[in-house]
Amino acid sequence: MKKKSLTAKKKVHNQILKHLANKKILKVYKEFTKFLNIKYNFAVAVSGGPDSLSLTFLAKCFSLINNLDVKFYIVDHKLRNDSSSEAKLVSLRLKKFNIDCKILNWHGNKPLTNIQAIARKKRYSLLTDQCKKNKIKYLLLGHHIDDLYENFLIRLFRGSGLKGLTSFGETSEYSKNGIKILRPLINLEKKELIYLSNKVFNFFIKDPSNLNENFKRIRIRNLMENFRKEGFDKKKFKLTIRNLQDSDQSINFYIKKNIDENVIFFSNKNTIILNKFFFKQSHEVIFRSLSFLMKLISGKYYASRGKSIDKLIERIKLNKIGTKVTLGGCFFEKVNKTILISREKSSKN
């Protein structure tokens, strides 16, 4: 790179870092870095909203201060007429700050129902596939504390168990390709991110789907606003979620204990044996141990439906399983007092 270009680049970088002199922005940056113990290159998912633009700025500062390489990816779902032009606009705006964004396009047929859920899965897939391609292990997402509350209520209304209610946190593993997902803004409020985005970029995209009550998430968001008007205390809600997360960690201890003590793994890792004591634990421990093992054996990212696993556990406990039973890409077979689980040959990963 020419000396003139390097000087211009350094000037832009200094202008970016200068924003940390703002006390409000510095406070957000300190919260951002609190648990972000990264010593390797990482990637950031950019959408153009205030959350992701704030994340983009914070990640850029972090990469400059720690001399790390960071990649920025925008997913164009092509679900709206303006999505491609918006993606290009965000990319051009960020280029002025020496932030280069790669646009990942979703090609092919689009869903007519369950749009947001399917689009979310596709977004994760595109982002993590790109990370794997570039040998990046960490992907940062711009979820904030309001997203945490919304996600909790959505799963509560679905009848999710403790694991489902508490699984949306600071980190998660995308098992499909081993990418670790980080949410360093999870303890920050949206209003803080709007302030930061306006102050740094004087710009963000307003997604019209955020006003569409056909989407469950938007109805939940509006419900939260009604709760707030009635005196809803977010701090107490957060405390409740943290208490549930502590309980979840305790259950995880017994799940690991159950698997360590009551499961025999064969060398090919496609077959295991569960002894009779595996099913002597509490239902939650049995259920989650079995769900984990089924995903491990089948190689699938998602486990079978909860009701199906519950029925299988009941059949095993009542000794009503004889010939091979198939579920979630796995074969189950009773052998004396044990249960043999192997991968279904026709299973597609």
Question: What's the predicted TM-score (pTM) here?
Answer: 0.78
Indicate if 131 and 91 belong to the same structural domain.
Answer: yes
Determine the pLDDT at residue 79: 84
In a domain, residue 140? The reply is yes
Closest CA to 43 of 86, 118, 102: 102
Quote the pLDDT of residue 112.
76
Same domain, 226 and 257: no
- 64 and 106 together in one domain: yes
In a domain, 148, yes or no: yes
Residue 320 lies in a domain: yes
% residues pLDDT > 90 (the chain):
50
CATH of the domain at 26: 3.40.50.620
Asked if residue 260 and residue 183 are part of one domain, the reply reads: no
Whole-angstrom Cα distance, residue 118 to residue 31? 31
Q: What's the pLDDT at 193?
A: 95
Domain-embedded: residue 304 = yes
Contacts 24+ apart (CB under 8 A), 200-205: 200/16, 200/19, 200/25, 200/53, 200/54, 200/57, 201/53, 201/57, 201/93, 201/94, 201/97, 203/53, 203/93, 204/48, 204/49, 204/50, 204/53, 205/47, 205/48, 205/49, 205/86, 205/89, 205/90
In this structure, the answer to whether residues 266 and 157 fall within a common structural domain is no
For residues 316 and 224, membership in a common domain is answered with: no
Q: What would you report as the CA-atom Rg of the chain, rounded to the nearest whole angstrom?
A: 23
- pLDDT value at residue 224: 77
- CA dihedral sign of residues 282, 288, 330, 342: negative
* Residue 149 and residue 105 share a domain: yes
pLDDT at 347: 43
pLDDT under 70: residue ranges of the chain: 1-6, 173-177, 207-214, 301-303, 346-349
Q: Is residue 239 assigned to a domain?
A: no
Both 224 and 260 in one domain: the answer is no
Contacts (Cβ under 8 Å, ≥6 apart) of 323: 333
Spatial contact of 182 and 138, defined as CB atoms under 8 Å apart: yes
Q: Establish if 240 belongs to a structural domain.
A: no
| Per-residue pLDDT tens over the stretch 121-164 | 889 889 999 999 999 999 999 999 888 888 888 888 888 888 88
224 and 282 both lie in a single domain: no
276 and 130: one domain? no
Buried b (16+ CB within 10 A) or exposed e, 109-126: eeeeeebbeebeebbbbb
- Give the C-alpha separation, 56 to 60, whole Å: 6
pLDDT for the residue numbered 146: 87
Query: Structural domain of residue 106, as residue ranges?
Result: 3-232
